[in-house]
Amino acid sequence: MSMLRHYMTTTLRNVLRQKYYAAINVAGLAIGMSCSLIIFMIVRDELSLHIRSRSGTPTSDCAVRYGDKAFNEFLLFFADSAFFKVFTCEVLEGDVNTFLTQPNTIVITDVIARKYFGDAPALGKTLEVDGTSHYMVCGVVKEFPRQSHWRFGLLTSLVSRSIPEKENWLNNSSYTYALLRKGASREQAESTFAPIVEMNVRPAVEEELGGDWKEMKGRGMYYRYRFQPLTDIHLHSRLDEEIFPSGNAATVYAFIMIAVFILLIACINFMNLITARSAHRAKEVGVRKVLGSHVPQLASLFLGEAVLFAVIAMIVGLGIIELLLPVVNDLSAKSLSLAMFVSPQMIVGVALFTVFVGVLAGSYPAFVLSSFHPAKVLKGELRRGMRSGRLRSTLVVIQFAISIALMVGTMTVYRQLQFIRARDLGFDKEQMLVVDNTWLLRENSRPM
């Protein structure tokens, strides 16, 4: 403990003695760490997208009214009652066992409830949809997080719709989700489902196309259902007409690489600044070695200094993140916040990340400084200690190469966005007004 206390005292003394130099080191690390953490927050948000649905039909935007309150809603869906038997929702009002079991009933989120009813209970009240249909609120649930694969504001009972009772296996107008048994694989589900599909789809296809099923299969034609894991939908789905637009895994991986490059630039910058001033620490190293300090002890001292710099930089970096998050949320249409780091796992993760950055940034300077020969140092000869000039030059080249690549990529994306914004659309968009749902202006009218 005494040795650790001595190292901490020495480190703090060196930091306070060279305030401007320390401020430059902290600023470089803080900017790199904050940028990397912001990208991590975006990536984590993308990778945590999940699904909370079973079967339902999307609908276009619709006009919803309660009294004198009327809004256009874009998150109204039809779903069957099995939705709440398969997936767990935080119920705020009503009995989940009766949700969507009756025609003309609707389940809404707490956000929608406050929007139309304020703080009053929503259960039992009736909402008018598109001026023609009326749905009684049978339940209120907490809104799904933005990371959900899709979200709803209003969920209407599927039994409210007039659907032909005739089975039609060629009808793909609804989104259907299947819950597999624990341990079952997608391949097993598809192989089990294949004979059922053939038995039901075959006559429908032959009737629709007027051909023979086996003959069509022989010519490479097929009709099948494939299962897609829910966790693959957001980043890996290449299907048309997903409920919400899918993301792109390549974009996420690109973000990760950018974060690594930015952190690497910050660490290399720290290494070069420390080693550039190694002459100022040479006599200290020489005296310590004469007094009996060994290379591992000196390396630990310099690594401790680097970790302390990283800790201070992390504190400053969190402040930078707090300032930048509103801009980041506007640009990315997300709702990121520092609350993401409040959980014990994240606190431990941030602490390990800080130590890792400190060790990574301080490893090379610690090696250089601890390798000085005391006799040559005390005589003023630093050739042995400064033999690392070639490696430093290499680090500088790497740093500039990564910086230039990032700047070129940023400029390319910026120019592309500018081109899209300035491109001639073929019409004058100024002084133009788009009015949706004009049919609502007509009394007793129905949507076309």
Residue whose C-alpha is closest to residue 110's, from 101, 99, 119: 119
Angle between helices 278-290 and 249-276 (to 10 degrees): 70
Read off the DSSP letter of residue 159.
Answer: G
CB 234 within 8 A of CB 241: no
Angle in degrees, CA 328, 334, 339, rounded to 5: 85
Flag residues of the chain having pLDDT under 70: 1-4, 6-7, 11, 48-60, 147, 162-166, 236, 240-241, 245-247, 277-293, 295, 370-389, 391-392, 436-448
What whole-number distance in Å separates Cα of residue 42 and Cα of residue 321? 12
Q: Which two tokens stand for residue 46?
A: 């993308």
What whole-number distance in Å separates Cα of residue 124 and Cα of residue 135? 9
Q: Is the pTM of this model over 0.75?
A: no
Q: Which two tokens stand for residue 415?
A: 């120019």
CA gyration radius, the chain = 32
Q: Which two tokens stand for residue 214?
A: 């086996």
Residues paired with 58 in a beta bridge: 77
Residues paired with 176 in a beta bridge: 55
Phi, psi for 147 (deg, rounded to 5): -75, -5
| pLDDT at residue number 114 | 94
Chain length of the chain: 448
Give DSSP secondary structure letters for 114-131: HHHHTTS--TT-EEEETT
- Assign 322 to helix, strand or coil: helix
Residues paired with 140 in a beta bridge: 93, 108
